Amino acid sequence: MSRLKEVTGAPRADNACTFCGVCGYAICGALSPAELADLDKMAKRAVFAPKETLFAQGEPATKVYSVSEGVVRLYKLLPDGRRQVIGFKLPGDFIGMASAELHGLAADAINQVSVCWFPRSAFLHFSEDKVTLLRRLNEFANRELSYAHDRMLLLGRFTAEEKMASFIMGWRERLARLGRGQIEIALPMSRRDIADYLGLTIETVSRTFTRFERENIFSVVPGGVRVIDEFRARQLAAALPSKDRN
C-alpha cells in the first residue's frame, strides 16, 4: 500500500500553483490565473521517499497526480512475479487518468518525489467545462500513445545497443525540456530498471555500457552518463524519430 506523506504546516501563498517550477508545462499550464486558484484549493501536496509507493497495482484509482519533482517509475507485475517497467515520469508529467476503477500499474518513487494530487472525481468534475484543460489532457494522452507505439518498435526491432542509445538520447531530450543536462545525463533509475524497461537482462545492460565506454560513445559518470561522440550516439538511436521515447 502507498504511504502518502501529505505536506502540512508550510507557508502557503494565496495561489501556490503560481510559484510551481513546472506549472508552465504541466497540465495546469493550460489554466487561467482564476482557474489556477480554484485548482490550488483542491490540490494536496505530498512527498515520497525513494522506493515508496504512490499507488499499487490493483488499488482503487481514487487520485490523480502531477509530478513536481523527482522521477516516478511505472511498472506492471506479471502473475509469475516478473516485472515490466512501463515508463518513467518526470516533473510536469501527469499520472492516473486511465478510465479503469482500479490501477492497472504500480507507481513508486525512484528518488525523492514531490507531487500535487487531486481526488479523481473532483478533478474530473473540475475539468468538465475547461476547454483548454481538456485539450491539454488530450495532448498528454496522445503523447502517451505515441510513446507506446515507439516502444513497441524499440522492443521488437532494435538491437541491445540501439535500445540503450535510444533510451539514453530520448531521456536526454526529456530532461532538456526541463532545462537539465545536455552533456552529462542523469540516470536515477537502476540498471535493473533500464533492463526491465528495454526487455533486456541486467547483464546485457552492463555489457552495453562497457561497450559504449570502450568505443568512446558514452562514458559512465556518477549518477548517469556523459555523451562522448554525439554523432555516433544519434546514429545508434536514429531508428526512432527525434522525439522523446520514454
pLDDT, position 72: 98
- Residues of the chain with pLDDT > 90: what percent? 57
Whether the per-residue pLDDT at 6 is higher than 70: the answer is no
**Across residues 159-179, what is the average pLDDT?**
91
Architecture of the domain defined by 158-237: Orthogonal Bundle (1.10)
Q: How confident is the model at residue 67 (pLDDT cuts 50, 70, 90)?
A: very high
Distance CA 168, CA 185 (A): 8
Whether the per-residue pLDDT at 69 is higher than 50: the answer is yes
Whether the per-residue pLDDT at 75 is higher than 50: the answer is yes
CA atoms within 13 A of residue 208's CA, in its CB half-sphere:
23
CATH 1.10.10.10 segments of the chain: 158-237
Q: How confident is the model at residue 68 (pLDDT cuts 50, 70, 90)?
A: very high
Whether the per-residue pLDDT at 12 is higher than 70: the answer is no
Lowest pLDDT segment from 33-37, 164-168, 197-201: 33-37
Class of domain 5-147: mainly beta
Tell me: the pLDDT tens digits for 88-137? 999 999 998 777 889 999 999 999 999 999 999 999 999 888 899 899 88
What is the residue type of 151? R
CATH 2.60.120.10 segments of the chain: 5-147
DSSP lists the bridge partners of residue 65 as: 95, 117
Tell me: the pLDDT tens digits for 133-149? 899 888 888 888 877 77
Helix (H, G, I), strand (E, B) or coil at 243: coil
Report in angstroms the alpha-carbon separations of 37 from 21, 24, 60. Answer: 16, 15, 28
Phi and psi of 31, rounded to 5°? Answer: -100, 155
Element (H, E) at 131: helix 131-157
